[in-house]
Amino acid sequence: MFRNKEYVLTVVKEKGFTKAAETLFVSQPSLSSSIKRIEEKIGSPIFDRSSTPVTLTEVGQEYVKYALEIEEKENDFARYVSDHTNLLAGTIKLGGSSFFASFMLPEMVSEFNKKHPKIKFEIFEDSTKNLMNKLSMGNLDLVIDNATVTDENIISEIYTTERILLAVPKKLEINNQLSKYRMSAEDIKLDKHLENAKSVELEKFRNEKFILLNHENDTGKRAEKLFRKYGIEPKTIFHLDQQVTAYNVSCTGMGISFVSDTLVKRIGASPEIYYYKLPDKSTVRNIYLYQKKNHYLSLSARKFIEYNIKQ
């Protein structure tokens, strides 16, 4: 009854028979007949066809749960066989949010690929929430992110540590009052913002305008906590989804944003920005490589972790 499970799973994914048939390159009558045969073997319908889009019945929900588990075990076994027949070959599926997928994963993959050219990569860009769901379902091998994940089915290793800074437009008058604290992008790239650099409290920027990230974003959450700590009601111009976008808005002079030193080191330096180190412990965080717990990870993926963690 699970032999043609991909038909059922595709209908669920595409939310209908018509789109699923196109994805599977079969006719809709053929797809409907195949699923009907599965339902006859089960003795109960999988889909409620009276609704639009079609929905899963209670039995259908259980079928999909077991089908996904079987599919994951099949993929695990395929990776196991690949490890024994194609040493350090195959494909690694990596996930990252917009910033990590654009600025970090290509760099990590490029360096590793020089040593292991037979290994192929697929990079998936999505929100942290969606990436962790895909990882939990076994659709990704690894995810790189700086968010704190509480899912017990996901484990992590620290890839590196980063610090959140304030990106302040140079044209703001506040910079003249804080000249001994301000730093350039070049200073950040030379790590002058680390242990020995002077820090300045967020309180000094109480009256300035801010470009903030939404509270679903880890940087956004940390910024909100800092404002609460200092009793500041920020004058917010924008709430945005991406750190890169917030940084680019700051570069136009519209307001201050919270950015990571990881971003500053990898993005083109703006001559219009000063950077400030904050003293708060919450501005220091880890970047992790996440994987699914008790999930067979290919030898290639394990080598990728080992290579990058040791760098």
pLDDT value at position 228?
96
Place of tokens 């969606």: 130
Predicted pLDDT at 7 = 87
For helices 58-85 and 5-14, the axis angle rounded to 10 degrees is 110
The residue written with tokens 């201050």 in the block is: 256
Tell me how crowded residue 49 is: count the other CB atoms within 10 A of its CB. 12
In order, the DSSP letters of 144-180 are: EE-S----TTEEEEEEEEEEEEEEEETTSTHHHHTTT
| Alpha-carbon radius of gyration of the chain | 24
Residues of the chain with CATH 1.10.10.10: 5-81
pLDDT of residue 155: 94
From-to residues of CATH 3.40.190.10 in the chain:
83-159+287-309, 161-285
Which residues lie across from 274 on neighbouring strands? Answer: 168
Secondary-structure percent of the chain, ordered helix, strand, coil, rounded to 5: 45, 20, 35
| Domain covering 83-159+287-309, topology | D-Maltodextrin-Binding Protein; domain 2 (3.40.190)
Please answer whether residues 154 and 293 qualify as being in contact, where contact means their C-beta atoms are separated by less than 8 angstroms: yes
Residue type, 193: H
Place of tokens 């990079």: 123
Give me the residues of the chain with pLDDT under 70, please. Answer: 83-88, 310-311
161-285: CATH topology is D-Maltodextrin-Binding Protein; domain 2 (3.40.190)
| pTM summary value | 0.71
* Euclidean distance between CA atoms 224 and 96, whole angstroms: 23
**16: CB partners within 8 A, 6+ apart:** 53, 54
161-196 per-position pLDDT tens digit: 999 999 999 999 999 999 999 999 999 999 989 878
Whether 257 contacts 223, CB under 8 Å? no
Tokens read off for 4: 């043609």
DSSP codes joined into one string, 239-268: EES-HHHHHHHHHTTS-EEEEEHHHHHHSP
- Name the architecture of domain 5-81: Orthogonal Bundle (1.10)
- C-alpha 149/C-alpha 290 separation (Å) is 9
Residue in 78, 88, 69, 91 with CA at minimum distance from that of residue 138:
69
- Looking at residue 230, its pLDDT comes to 95
